[in-house]
Amino acid sequence: MDHVVVVGSGASGVHFALSLLERGHRVTMVDGGKRGPVPPHPDATYTQLKERLDDPARYLLGEDFGGVVLPDSGEEYYGVPPEKGFIFEHPDGFAPRSHGFSPLFSFAQGGLAEAWTAGCYPLNADEIEDFPFAHSALQRGYETVARRIGVTGEDDDLARFMPLHEGLMAPLRLDAHSELLLDRYAKKRSWLNARLRCYLGRTRVATLSRDLGDRKACAYLGRCLWGCPIGALYTPSATLRECMGHPNFDYAGGLFASHFALGAEGRATELVARSIDGTEERRFGIDVLALAAGTLCSSGIVLESLRRDGAGDVALEGLMDNRQVLVPFVNQRMLGRAFEDEAYQYHLIGLGIEGETPRDYVHGQITTLKTAMMHPVVQSLPFDLGTSALIGRATHAALGVVNVNFNDHRRPGNSVGLSGEDPGNLVVRYAPASGEGDRLKRTLKTVSRALRKLGCWVPPGMSHVRPMGASVHYAGTLPMCENGGAWTTDPQGRSRDLPNVFLVDGCGFPFLPAKNITFTLMANAVRIADSAF
Ligand SMILES: Cc1cc2nc3c(=O)[nH]c(=O)nc-3n(C[C@H](O)[C@H](O)[C@H](O)COP(=O)(O)OP(=O)(O)OC[C@H]3O[C@@H](n4cnc5c(N)ncnc54)[C@H](O)[C@@H]3O)c2cc1C
Ligand code: SF4
C-alpha cells in the first residue's frame, strides 16, 4: 500500500484520489478548501426563487451588484454570480502577474469546475497522437469517470468527432430553441456537411438525466448558473465527498501548499503549506507526491521548490489554452416567443467543424438564452442603454451564443515562471501563434454561414474574442512523453527530474485539442492512478 500526498481537490485531484483509494492505497489531500453557501429552496424553480427569497436581487445579482457586468466594462462577457464568488477567492499574499493572459485560479473544494458548464468531450485517437499511450488506456478512464459522474449524450452527427463510450446516459430534455435549431439542421444537413464541413448534434454534459447515488436527475429548475441545488449538474466536490467516506482518506483543507523540500536525487521529502490566512505552517512527510493543483498552481509549486533548492531562474515553457470566441445570434423563428424559465440553462447542442487535419477540428457549444443573465448581450448592442434593453427584452427567447473553441500547441515563450522581485509569486506569459487572426476570421465566417443556413441572423461586429486564459483549459508546462529531457514526465505522469513527484493535472498534456479539457483531465488522472500504483 502506497501513501500518496495529493495537492488539490479539483476535477483532476478527486478522480486520481478516488482511484487510488479504490485500489487500497492511503491518500492525504492538501487543499485550498474554500466552501460556498448551500443553495436556498432546493425545490424552487428560478421564477419561484424570485418569489420566495426575501431579497432575490441580493441572491441573483449580489449585494454590490458584483454579478453584473456593466456596459463599457471592457474585456469580458461574464460576471460571477455572488454565490460563486468563493470559487475564485485567493489566499492572502497570492498575487500572480500575467502578460498576454488572464488566468483564473481557484482555492475552493472542487476547484474551478465548481463553476463549470459541464461540457464533457472525449478525445479521439488523432487528438492524442502526441500523448505517449494508446487511446484504449484513456477510453477506460473516460468510462470510469462517466460511470462516476454521469455524462449525458447521443449517438448523432457529433459522434464522428467524439468517440462513444460506456456509461453515457440519455440526453437532457431540449429547450424549444435548441430543438428548432436541430430540426432546421436535419433539413439543411447535406449542404452544411458538404459545403462547410459543419455538423450539429447534442453536446455531452455531466448533468444527470436520471438519479445517480444521492444526486438527483435534472428537474429543469433553470438555476444552473447560481449552483444546481439538487446536485444534477456534477461538480468535483461530489467526488470529494465520496473520497471522504473512505477510511484511508485524510483531508487537510484551508491550506496553501507553497513548495516541497528536496532531498537526495531530487526526491521530495516534505510538503510545506501555510493556512489560507497565512498565520500557521504545516508540514507533510512525503513517500509519493501528486500535484493536482491545476496547471498553473502545480507549476508554481514545482518552481518554488526549485527556487528554494537554489536552482536559480527556471521557467516552465509550453503553456497552452484554448482560444474562445463568442458568437451571438438571433433566431428569427423564435422572435415573439416567451423565454423558457423551466429549462436547462447551459448548452444542449453543439457544432463541430472539420479542419485541415483531424487535430484542427473546431468545437462549438451552442447556448440558447433562457434564465441566464442577459445584460452581457444587451450591453454590446450598438444602441443606447434604454433602446438596447427594450430590444433585449423583445428578443430574449430568440437569442443564442456559440462558444467557438480552437486548439493550441506548445510554443517556447508561453511560460509559467516566478517573479524575480517578488519571490514566490507566479508570472504567466503568453503570445498567440502567428497567423491566429486569419484562422479566427476564416472559422468565424464558416460559423456565421452555418448559423444563417439555420435561419439565424448574426449581428455584425458583436463576436467577442475572449482573452487568452478565459477558457480556463490550462495545460502543457511539464509534458508527458515517451523519451523526454528535463522538465518532462514519463507516460505515467512521473517527473523525470523529481522521481517521487507525479503531475496528474493538465501540466502533462503535450497538445491541447479544441474540445473542453476537463473530461480528459479526469480520465487521465484515473489512467495514471491505475497504471502507476
Ligand atoms: C466558468 C467556467 C466554465 C467552465 N466550463 C467547462 C466546461 O464546460 N467543460 C470543461 O471541460 N471545462 C470547463 N471549465 C474548465 C474546468 O473548470 C477546468 O478544466 C478544471 O477545473 C481543471 O481542474 P483541475 O483539477 O486540474 O484544477 P482546478 O480546478 O484549478 O483545481 C485546483 C485544486 O487545487 C487546489 N489548490 C490550488 N493550488 C493550491 C495550493 N497551492 N495549495 C493547496 N491547494 C491548492 C484548489 O483548492 C483546487 O481544489 C470551466 C471553467 C470555468 C471557470
Ligand atoms: S436546470 Fe440546472 S439547476 Fe435546475 S436541476 Fe437542472 S442542472 Fe440543476
Q: Determine which residue's CA is closest to atom 50 belonging to ligand 1.
A: 116
Residue pair 522/8 in contact by the 8 Å Cβ criterion = no
Which of 366, 380, 363 lies closest to 443 in space, CA to CA?
363
CB atoms within 10 A of CB 324: 23
Q: From the CA of 55, how far away is ligand 1's center (Å)?
A: 31
Q: In CATH, what number does 1-34+90-150+234-315+412-418+474-533 get?
A: 3.50.50.60
Q: Is 232 in the pocket of ligand 2 (CB under 6 A)?
A: yes
Strands 415-418 and 426-429: antiparallel
CA 214, distance to chain mean position in Å, is 24
Q: Is 69 in the pocket of ligand 2 (CB under 6 A)?
A: no
**Domain residue ranges of the chain, discontinuous segments joined by +:** 1-34+90-150+234-315+412-418+474-533
Which of 494, 457, 498, 176 lies closest to 342 in space, CA to CA?
176
Q: CA-based angle 33:34:38, to the nearest 5?
A: 120
What is the chain's Cα-based Rg? 23
Q: In this predicted structure, what is the pLDDT of residue 357?
A: 95
**Nearest ligand, CA 108:** 1
Q: From the CA of 112, how far away is ligand 2's center (Å)?
A: 18
Strand, helix or coil for residue 268: strand
Q: In this predicted structure, what is the pLDDT of residue 79?
A: 64
Q: From the CA of 15, how far away is ligand 1's center (Å)?
A: 13
Q: In this predicted structure, what is the pLDDT of residue 315?
A: 94
Which of 29, 3, 1, 24 lies closest to 14 in space, CA to CA?
29
Q: Is 228 in the pocket of ligand 2 (CB under 6 A)?
A: yes
Q: Is 474 in the pocket of ligand 1 (CB under 6 A)?
A: no
pLDDT tens over the chain, length 533 residues: 899 999 999 999 999 999 999 999 999 999 999 999 999 999 999 999 989 998 888 888 877 776 665 544 455 555 678 888 899 999 988 999 999 999 999 999 999 999 999 999 999 999 999 999 999 999 999 999 999 999 999 999 999 999 999 999 999 999 999 999 999 999 999 999 999 999 999 999 999 999 999 999 999 999 999 999 999 999 999 999 999 999 999 999 999 999 999 999 999 999 999 999 889 999 999 999 999 999 999 999 999 999 999 887 789 999 999 999 999 999 999 998 888 889 999 999 999 999 999 999 999 999 998 876 666 667 667 788 888 888 878 888 999 999 999 999 999 999 999 987 666 789 999 999 999 999 999 999 999 999 999 999 998 888 999 999 999 999 999 999 999 889 999 999 999 999 999 999 999 999 999 999 999 999 999 999 999 99
Q: Is 7 in the pocket of ligand 1 (CB under 6 A)?
A: yes
Q: In this predicted structure, what is the pLDDT of residue 312?
A: 78
Q: Is 199 in the pocket of ligand 2 (CB under 6 A)?
A: no
**pTM of the model as a whole:** 0.96
Residues 6 or more apart whose CB falls under 8 angstroms from that of 490 comprise 132, 480, 482, 484, 496
Q: Is 226 in the pocket of ligand 2 (CB under 6 A)?
A: no
Residues 6 or more apart whose CB falls under 8 angstroms from that of 74 comprise none
Cell numbers of 151, please?
Answer: 455524462
Pocket residue to mutate for ligand 2, from 84, 344, 371, most atoms within 8 A of Cβ: 344
* Distance (Å, whole) CA 4 – CA 288: 5
